Structure 1
Amino acid sequence: MARRGLAAHIRGLEAGIGVVRHRLSLPVGEQGAKRAPGGYRSRREWHAKSRRLTVLEARRDRAVADWRAGRVRVVRGGKRLANTRHHLDTAQLTDERWRGRWEAARMFLSADGETGKRYGNETIRITPDGHLSVKLPAALAHLANAPYGRFALAVAVVFPYRGEEWADRIAGNRAVAYTLHHDPDRDRWYVTASWQRREVPVLPLDAALVAGCIGVDMNDDHLAAWQLDPHGNPVGEPHRFFYNLTGTASHRDAQIRHALTRLLHWARGCGVKAIAVEDLDFSTEKTREKHGRRKGFRRLISRFPTARLRARLVSMAAEHDLTIVAVDPAYTSKWGAQHWQKPLTTPRRKTTRHDAASIAIGRRALGHPIRRRTAPPPQHQSDAAGHRTAQAGPSARGREETRPRVPGPRTRCDGPGRGANVGDQCAQNRSGHTTEHESWQQHSIPLSL
């Protein structure tokens, strides 16, 4: 994990160096394009950024040197807890309580599972009735209180969550990994069991989307989801699953798991087999050199858990036999708000921009265009391959209604109300009258009595 973090740090520094070099090479005050930033606004800012470039290059060189030497900087117990030692009054902790947390965070015992060994683990063994024993190393063999150099605990272990799955695995001697850790606040020991599932068969995309899908728009504080039928039409009401990404890493992870659990339970209740999400990646977009003074936006994308959400959703969806479909995130929010937000807003339902984006994501996964209507074939247009389309412009009044009849001559003939059949209502273009009862039409009589 430290190596991955160091590699991500190097990539971020290189991205920032590239942006600063590009902007320094442009004249002061030059306007930027849509995809590339312009020059700096003043000579003062240009000079400050030139010094900033030197700092970034020095940081990058140190990080690259550590990477090549294989050196990692890890704080056993956590950097946050180590810094808390200097602010005990703010954290409302005593020295003894902090010391207990520090020792518990730095102390752990774990063992990987082994398929074929008794109960799936030779080092840390837990029997079906909950008895736990640990295989002691040779230096501690004199502390053993059970045969074969093992130390057995007097208390039993219980797994209230997925206990049946755990029991099935150890009954078949399949690999189960265990981790023991201590909670100093409650003064309790906990055992975490983990295992790897077999490969889940991947369904073809057409089979996964046969019952429609659920489009999910991931945001900073909630997941916006809407169910779509196979034709791309929204069904029912939108759903929002909120989470709070403040606090410790364990709290944030629990919030994400809770939101995803509610999403998956709702998806199973809807009867769909697929969930459509955006393939987001902000790994190279977090540098402040690219977004400048937009501190709020930088803070947003820095705390956005794209990788964790995606990894959690894929693993948890496999448990519910659901397929995850990743789509291109380009313009989903913009086009969803443009084509779906206003039509789906009612006096009793306020459709947000994120709800509309979830529809756009689902339609893109289903293979449908995001816009609601497209131009009909030329033969079905009013003027026989003329200029009219079924999609009216945004400024057209009554564009969601039937086109009104325009009075006056349209084909160089008599105007309305001036023809020879002006008084004959049956001769007009009206459905249900005698002029439509030709030999090829069905009369309004029952087929059988």
Structure 2
Amino acid sequence: MADQRRPLRPIDPPFVALGPSGVAIRTRLKGLTGDDDKVPRAVGAHLGSLASKDLKRRCADGLEHSTHMWAGRKRELTEESSSRWAGSITKATHDQWALSRRAQLAHIQGLEAGIRTMAHRLSLPVGEKGTKRAPGGYRTKREWFVKTRRLHLLEDRLERERADRKAGRVRVARGGKKLARNRHNLDAAQLTENTWRQRWEAERWFFAADGESGKRFGNETIRVTPHGQVSIKLPAPLAHLANAGHGRYVLICTVQFHHRGDQWADRVAANRAVAYRIHLDTERGRWYLTASWTIPPLKTVPLTQARTDGLIGVDTNADHLAAWRLDAHGNPCGEPRHFFYDLSGNARHRDAQVRHALTRLLHWAKRYGLSIAVEDLDFSSEKTREKHGQRKGFRKLISGMPVATLRARLVSMAAELAITLVVVDPAYTSRWGTEHWQKPLASKNRRTSRHDAASVAIGRRALGHRIRRRTAPPHDDQSDRRGYRTAQAGDGDRAREETRPRVPGPRTRCVPPDAERTRATRTPKTVRDVRSDQVWVQDSLLLTD
């Protein structure tokens, strides 16, 4: 009977992840007076209206946009603000339009994947069971009929999205679509109309300025001195609010960056570019200042060096990180570790939970001086309802996994501790880890989960070893006829065919302790012949009548 299993997909080789390309730090603006609170609101609202007009014009230009149109937009904005404010607005508008284009392409790919899955399931008879690799037919005729209508709906939606992409049309909501939809569901969002209005207006403000190297303190628009004094270059219509020369407004408070403060101070003292953003947290009623700058890419170590002393394999799950330390030969060492996090609650709570779990993982890796192996996860095509049907629990599970947040946080935090990250292909790690490692690693005092076994599989793939533990022994006595026994020994490894050194102590329960010592001290069955130093003779048996 021919093998009907589908061939495995190609597995990408592991690689060392690059470090972060930028840095962002934040501090709070404390002790603002009444005027200090009114001026940022006026500046943010005025620049926000200009940003909305510029975004509308950029979306109208579509694919026909050129550098001449960009320069024309900037000249128009300069008359109502300044040249530097206009440059920041046009750059932010262009980035927002490009992000919308990428989101549009991802949406089209998701629609295409859903249509393919739905068409496949509709082509099967009702009630036909599926396999692990492909879904089966729909369970009832009613569900089949509903899905046919949904298929036509998705096809119409896909045709409309393709037409928009071909024409260069994007749909962007300044302030966020989620917040815009909450206006129609205030009770479900637990918001009042006044609270929603304040948050909506604050999200639509624009109060960000790009830095310039060579200028005083690295930014001429929002200037922060090394002593923490903050001054703002007011737009032309708001120049009457200035309390300092050259149309600037100086805040009464001073700021101090506790995280990376030394790096920020060095850049400011050297007049290197630093971008600033001022924003209001409407829930707490607090103003914050964010400073950011680009950094040169960190020099990563070669993959062979990252594998020198072994590494730590990490399996990402919806509520915890499962990690296991492996030596250079791919053997698990010690006990598995779990780093839990709770993703219920608001965004600040979730972010704090992720940072706390990653901090403990990185400190553990730093203690042994090891690299970390993680999977290159991407669930963008795995969350569709067409693929998983009514498995709402599973869809919610994979949607709740903080893949993007973990990736961004882990890269930046590992770079601070000089820990190397090795990224591997996630194909079949959970399946093969469970098959080859879950049962062998379990014992009477330790229960190994499938996530622990997956972490071992991830680590072995990062080390360049096969996931399975050992190959079968050769059928013949000569290994050169059937191949070598072990899977991890290379062709050039020394002593690969030698016998193992003897370890003192019993190897099985049948051998009593100190068997070697007892064997050496007991009376031998052979005695030495006194007549010759070269001949050994056996004692004759005692015969009795």
TM, length-normalised to structure 2:
0.66
> Could you tell me which amino acid in structure 2 is paired with residue 13 of structure 1?
L
- Alpha-carbon distance in structure 1 between the residues aligned to 2:108 and 2:345: 26
Corresponding position: 1:263 with 2:361 = yes
Aligned to 1:136: 234
Query: In structure 2, what is the Cα distance between the partners aligned to 1:285 and 1:311?
Result: 20
Q: CA deviation at 1:355?
A: 1.4
Distance in 2, Cα, partners of 1:299 & 1:284: 14
CA distance in 2, matches of 1:46, 1:185: 47
Q: What letter matches 1:298 in structure 2?
A: R
For 1:221, the equivalent position in structure 2 comes to 319
Measure the CA separation in 1 of the matches of 2:188 and 2:212. 46
Structure 2 residue 388 is matched with structure 1 residue 291 = yes
Report the CA distance between 1:156 and its aligned residue.
0.4
What is the CA-CA distance between 1:229 and the residue it aligns to? 1.6
Contact 2:310 2:328 in 1 (8 A): yes
Q: Structure 2: how far apart are the matches of 1:18 and 1:384?
A: 49
The answer on 1:246 being equivalent to 2:362 is no
Report the Cα distance in structure 1 between the residues aligned to 2:386 and 2:441, rounded to whole angstroms.
39
Would you say 1:126 and 2:227 are equivalent positions? no
Distance 1:355 1:435 in 2: 60
C-alpha deviations, 1:261-313, integer Å up to 9, x for none? Answer: 332222212211x2111122222222222222222122222232323322332
Q: Aligned with 2:294: secondary structure?
A: coil
1:311 equivalent to 2:408? Answer yes
Match of 2:55 in 1: none
Bigger shift: residues 280-289 or 205-214 = 280-289
1:444 alignment partner in structure 2 = none
> Structure 1's 424 and 235: CA in aligned 2 closer, same or farther, altered over 3 A?
closer
TM-score, structure 1 as length reference: 0.79
Letter in 1 for 2:434: A
Q: 1:426 to 1:65 in 2, by over 3 A?
A: farther
Counterpart Cα distance in 1 of 2:207 and 2:180: 21
Counterpart Cα distance in 2 of 1:54 and 1:14 = 12
The verdict on how the C-alpha distance between 1:179 and 1:388 changes in structure 2, with shifts beyond 3 A counting, is closer
Q: Count how many residue pairs are aligned between Structure 1 and Structure 2.
A: 402
Aligned-CA RMSD value: 3.4
Which segments of 5 or more consecutive residues in structure 2 lack a partner in the other structure? Answer: 1-98, 488-506, 512-522, 528-533, 537-545
What displacement does 1:34 show? 4.7
Higher mean C-alpha displacement, 337-346 vs 285-294:
337-346
Write out per-residue CA displacement over residues 98-149 of structure 1, whole angstroms, 9 at most, x where no aligned residue: 4333333332411122222222222111111100111222232332222222
**How far apart, CA to CA, are the structure 2 residues paired with 1:278 and 1:95?**
44
CA distance in 1, matches of 2:377, 2:182: 34
Match of 1:77 among 175, 178, 187: 175
Higher deviation after alignment, 240-249 or 131-140: 240-249
Matched-pair identity in % = 64
TM-superposed CA distance for 1:42, in Å, is: 4.5
TM superposition shift of 1:180: 0.7
Query: Hey, which bits of structure 1, 4+ residues long, moved more than 6 A?
Result: 377-381, 383-391
Give the counterpart letter for 1:211 in structure 2: D
- Contact 1:29–1:39 (CA under 8 A) maintained in structure 2: yes
Instruction: Check conservation: 1:426, 1:435, Cα contact below 8 A.
Output: no
How far apart in 2 are the matches of 1:326 and 1:313?
12
Match of 2:454 in 1: 357
Structure 2 Cα separation of the partners of residues 384 and 205 of structure 1: 31
Q: Structure 1 residues 23, 377: CA separation in 2 closer, same or farther (over 3 Å shift)?
A: closer
Q: Report whether the alignment pairs 1:112 with 2:210.
A: yes
Whether 1:166 aligns to 2:261 is no
Any conservation in 1 of the 2:470–2:485 contact (CA below 8 Å)? no
Q: Displacement, 1:24? A: 2.8
Equivalent position SS for 1:227 = strand
Distance 2:362 2:199 in 1: 35
Deviation at 1:386, TM superposition (A): 9.1
Cα distance between partner residues in 2 of 1:257 and 1:128: 29
Specify whether residues 161 and 21 from structure 1 end up closer, same or farther in structure 2 by C-alpha distance, changes over 3 A only. Answer: same
Could you tell me which residue of structure 2 aligns to residue 198 of structure 1? 296
Select the residue among 90, 96, 101 that pairs with 2:199. Answer: 101
Selected match of 1:212 from 300, 303, 310: 310
Q: Aligned-pair distance for 1:14?
A: 0.8
| Distance (whole Å) between structure 2 residues aligned to residue 211 and residue 163 of structure 1 | 34
Return the alpha-carbon distance in structure 1 between the equivalents of residues 104 and 200 of structure 2: 24
Q: Which has the higher contact order (CA 8 A, sep 6+)?
A: 2
Q: Aligned equivalents of 2:341 and 2:222: distance in 1?
A: 35
2:108 alignment counterpart: 10
Residue number in structure 2 paired with 1:441: none
Contact map agreement 2:218 2:274 (CA 8 A) in 1: yes
**2:317–2:401 CA contact under 8 A, matched in 1:** yes
What SS does the corresponding residue of 1:2 show, helix, strand or coil? helix
**In structure 1, C-alpha distance between the alignment counterparts of 2:267 and 2:524, rounded to whole Å:** 84
Deviation at 1:174, TM superposition (A): 2.1
User: Residue 441 of structure 2 aligns to a residue in which SS?
Assistant: coil
How many Å apart are 1:83 and its aligned residue? Answer: 4.1
Distance 1:435 1:161, change over 3 A: farther
Kindly report which structure 2 residues correspond to 1:299-448, keeping only aligned pairs within 5 A, or say none. 299-375=396-472, 425=525
Once the 2 structures are TM-superposed, how far is the Cα of residue 249 of structure 1 from its aligned partner? 4.4
Whole-angstrom CA distance in 2 between matches of 1:72 and 1:377: 63
Q: CA deviation at 1:352?
A: 1.9
The reply on whether 1:63 has 2:134 as its aligned counterpart is: no
CA distance in 1, matches of 2:200, 2:146: 41
Structure 2 counterpart SS, 1:342: helix
Q: In structure 2, how many angstroms separate the alpha carbons of the residues matched to 1:60 and 1:18? A: 12
Give the C-alpha shift of residue 389 in structure 1.
Answer: 7.2
Match of 1:277 in 2: 374
Name the one with the larger helix percent: 2
Tell me the CA shift for residue 215 of structure 1.
0.5
Q: Deviations over 1:31-70 (max 9, x none)?
A: 5455333444444433322211101111212322333343
Between the aligned partners of 1:277 and 1:302, the Cα distance in structure 2 is: 19
C-alpha separation in 1, matches of 2:112 and 2:535: 78
Q: Answer whether contact 1:378 1:384 (CA < 8 A) is retained.
A: no
Q: Distance in 1 between matches of 2:282 and 2:126?
A: 58
CA offset at residue 194 of structure 1? 1.6
Question: SS at the partner of 2:410?
Answer: helix
Q: Is the 8 A contact 1:12 1:286 kept in 2?
A: no
User: Which shows bigger deviation, 86-95 or 362-371?
Assistant: 86-95
Contact 2:474 2:482 in 1 (8 A): no
Pairwise CA distance, 1:71: 3.4
